């Protein structure tokens, strides 16, 4: 199976570089890396072009004009460009443990999407990682939360990973799904403008369409760099879109992935 790693970003080239460097050190590489860029300036483009020279696999920069927070559209554009059967999503402020891609591939199952976990770094630990351009984390390291998520164990993963039909706790900063399943629900809903709930609504349509959730624990480890919270001003509108999808068991959005597949 071909895998595509999709990394979202917006004007934080230092974090994106750290994320990409962690991809370059993976025990198993994806077939391609696609940067889903929601309108960053030229500094991000220059960073991607520089790192592409050292990338072990094709590194593709998918950019769209800056018209505010349009993460759903940015991800759809990247999904449309992807050639993988299986898509792994992370954010540009996520740094990967060495076996992240390998673990996600092992966790892939027909009829399931995968929700992974993350370790949260505080501001001081984040600044140190950005300066050193690497992360070295252990259970007793200072400046981290969710310490149990630092532990990689095949045995614990088999014992503690579980399937679910619930929507709570969805975070697409460590998330994976089959491309054909995304196409069946028309990808992310581009009616979402501004931060919040576009990932939950996409997941709700997958669940409504019979795709189950697999929560992976103690594998596919990811470290989340600290940053200030995004504005929540769009949440009332976005919550209403999510509620409509859940209440009416919707499996399709009209303004979605198909807009970018036409003519490809």
Domains and CATH numbers, the chain: 3-261 (3.90.550.10)
pLDDT at 30: 98
pLDDT at 141: 76
Quote the tokens at residue 91. 């954010």
CA distances from 29 to 14, 53, 55, 79, 216 (A): 22, 16, 10, 18, 19
> How would you write the pLDDT of the chain (264 residues) with one tens digit per residue?
999 999 999 999 999 999 999 999 999 999 999 999 999 999 999 999 999 999 999 999 999 999 999 999 999 999 999 999 999 999 999 999 999 999 999 999 999 999 999 999 999 999 999 999 988 777 777 788 888 999 999 999 999 999 999 999 999 999 999 999 999 999 999 999 999 999 999 999 999 999 999 999 999 999 999 998 888 889 999 999 999 999 999 999 999 999 999 755
pLDDT at 43: 98
Residue 59, helix vs strand vs coil: strand
Other Cβ atoms within 10 Å of 82 Cβ, number = 23
Quote the tokens at residue 49. 């072009």
Contact 42, 11 (CB under 8 A): no
In angstroms, rounded to a whole number, what is the distance separating the alpha carbons of residues 30 and 129? 24
């Amino acid at each position: 199976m071909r895998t595509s790693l999709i990394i979202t970003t917006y004007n934080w080239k230092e974090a994106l570089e750290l994320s990409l460097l962690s991809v370059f050190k993976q025990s198993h590489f994806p077939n391609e890396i696609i940067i889903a860029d929601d309108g960053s300036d030229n500094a991000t483009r220059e960073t991607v072009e520089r790192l592409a020279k050292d990338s072990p696999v094709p590194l593709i920069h998918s950019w769209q004009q800056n018209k505010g927070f349009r993460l759903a559209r940015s991800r759809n554009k990247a999904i449309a460009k992807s050639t993988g059967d299986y898509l792994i999503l992370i954010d540009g402020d996520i740094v990967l443990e060495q076996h992240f891609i390998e673990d996600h591939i092992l966790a892939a199952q027909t009829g399931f999407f995968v929700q992974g976990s993350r370790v949260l770094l505080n501001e001081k630990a984040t600044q140190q990682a950005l300066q050193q351009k690497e992360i070295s984390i252990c259970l007793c390291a200072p400046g981290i939360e969710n310490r149990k998520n630092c532990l990689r164990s095949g045995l614990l993963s088999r014992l503690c990973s579980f399937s679910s039909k619930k929507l709570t706790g969805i975070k697409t900063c460590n998330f994976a799904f089959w491309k054909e399943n995304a196409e069946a629900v028309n990808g992310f809903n581009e009616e979402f403008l501004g931060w919040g709930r576009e990932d939950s609504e996409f997941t709700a349509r997958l669940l409504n369409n019979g795709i189950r959730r697999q929560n992976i624990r103690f594998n596919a480890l990811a470290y989340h760099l600290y940053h200030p919270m995004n504005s929540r001003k769009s949440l009332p509108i976005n919550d209403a879109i999510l509620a409509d999808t859940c209440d009416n068991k919707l499996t399709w959005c009209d303004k979605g992935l198909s807009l970018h597949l036409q003519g490809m």
